[in-house]
Amino acid sequence: MSNFDIKEELKKLPKNPGVYIMRDANDTIMYVGKTINLHNRVRSYFRSNIGRGPQIDMMVKQIARFEYIVTDSELEALVLENNLIKEHCPRYNTMLKDDKTYPYIKVTVSEAFPRILFSRLMKKDKSRYFGPFTSAAAVKDTIELINKLYGLRTCNRSLPKEIGAERQCLNYHMKQCCGPCTGNVSQEEYRARIDKALEFLGGNYSPIIKDLEQKMEAASEELDFENAAKYRDLLASVKVVAQKQKMTDSSMEDKDIVAIAADDKDAVVQVFFVRDGRLIGREHFYMTHVSENPKAEILMNFVKQFYAGTPFIPRELMLPEVIDDMEIIEKVADPAQGKPRVYHRSREGPEGEAHGACGPERRAGALQGQGAHQARRGQDNRCRQGD
């Protein structure tokens, strides 16, 4: 990577949120950082010393190249940064000893009378998970609000087994729980409440946000500033939870997300690796002698060569183009893992569903790799001309 021109690559940095990765001469990841503006943040490392501290100065001296991943929001950058730090343990990143993770909202849909819980871990336990989120306090406030709005239980009783076994709790008498423990609420009625909560957590935030805004304004007009402040804080918590991110997927599936950028001579294919639902890294691969072949054909050749030589094929493969000869994937796949599902942007459903995974940030990553490759190709040509 000695041909990586840092000054030239700095000029290409976008003014978008994202994650940047610093590598040394051995291509080892030294540092992972996130920012709301990649252009400003990454360039700041290469300015004259501005009191960054001896550790950062030492790291900057060792930077041989950098790369970046563009995200749609600062929240996505934060989650991706967390995933990459835990996966690669860079030398200059501060590591949490207790490995505390971002919080999730867990809905125990496998129970007869489901609960909505706070969780730091996402497990394959038949529950539905939402998140991760960046604020534990906002998650707790939102869970409390949902439980009160829909009258959901917060107890640890094993229902329906323990229906009527004990007295009703305080939440029931305060009308904050519909009381499935009394036997007066059927599973169907309770499930309807859970479905409304799931609809909210799935993205339909408008009704609750509108309701809280109206209550806040009404309390303010009545000079009830204590309640107005309470509704204001609840509204802020709901808006934090309402933020979307794609860096961690609650399906917890293993998948590879592929993007491609090509010109008349060469092509770069970028593969994003998602394991257990977390985006943990990416690699780019150069395809030469493409001679103006269509992208679908270049992609097909890449898929054949790459996956025929890898011992692991994920359960999902997401492609930007429809390609022929997909049976090659089935032939090299491990029978114990089952047939991989292939998705692309041009059709719907398996072997076609977009899943929002081949968006601008993935294409930008492939273009970044292609730009670096073209820079090296140009330098090689100049060297040959000099000879």
Model confidence over 271-288: pLDDT tens digits?
Answer: 888 876 777 777 778 877
Alpha carbon separation from 282 to 67, 84, 224, 313, 343 (Å, rounded): 10, 10, 53, 15, 18
Tokens for 245? 């991110």
Identify whether residues 63 and 151 lie together within a single domain.
no
Residues 6+ apart with CB under 8 A from 232: 216
Count how many domains the chain has.
Answer: 3
- What confidence score (pLDDT) does residue 247 get? 60
- Residues of the chain short of pLDDT 50, as ranges, are 1, 97-98, 346-365, 367, 372-373, 375-387
CA dist 105 and 138 (Å) reads: 11
Task: Please answer whether residues 340 and 318 qualify as being in contact, where contact means their C-beta atoms are separated by less than 8 angstroms.
Answer: no
Q: Are residue 187 and residue 84 in the same domain, yes or no? A: no
Whether the model pTM is above 0.75: no
Residue 289 belongs to some domain of the structure: yes
Residues 268 and 355 in one domain: yes
Residue 99 lies in a domain: no
Distance CA(131)–CA(208), nearest Å, equals 19
pLDDT of residue 378: 45
CATH of residue 61's domain is 3.40.1440.10
- Residues 238-247 as b or e (16 or more Cβ within 10 Å = b): bebbbeebbb
283 with 370, same domain: the answer is: yes
**What's the pLDDT at 155?**
92
Provide the residue range defining the domain that includes 54: 6-88
For residue 247, being part of any structural domain is answered with: no
Show the CA angle centred on residue 136, arms to residues 131 and 139, nearest 5°. Answer: 60
Q: Is 26 left (phi over 0), alpha (psi -120 to 50) or beta?
A: alpha
Question: Which domain-ending residue is among 241, 273, 296?
Answer: 241
Distance, CA of 302 to CA of 271 (rounded, Å) = 11
pLDDT of residue 292: 67
Tell me whether residue 98 is in a domain.
Answer: no
211-222: burial string, b at 16+ Cβ within 10 Å, e else:
ebeebbeebeee
Dihedral in degrees, nearest 10, Cα atoms 71, 377, 270, 65: -50
- Alpha-carbon distances, residue 355 vs 8, 19, 296, 345 (angstroms): 34, 22, 19, 8
Domain boundary among 194, 209, 241: 241
Q: What is the pLDDT of residues 135-170, one digit of tens each?
A: 788 888 889 888 988 889 999 998 988 888 888 888
End residue of a domain, out of 64, 88, 112: 88
pLDDT value at residue 111: 93
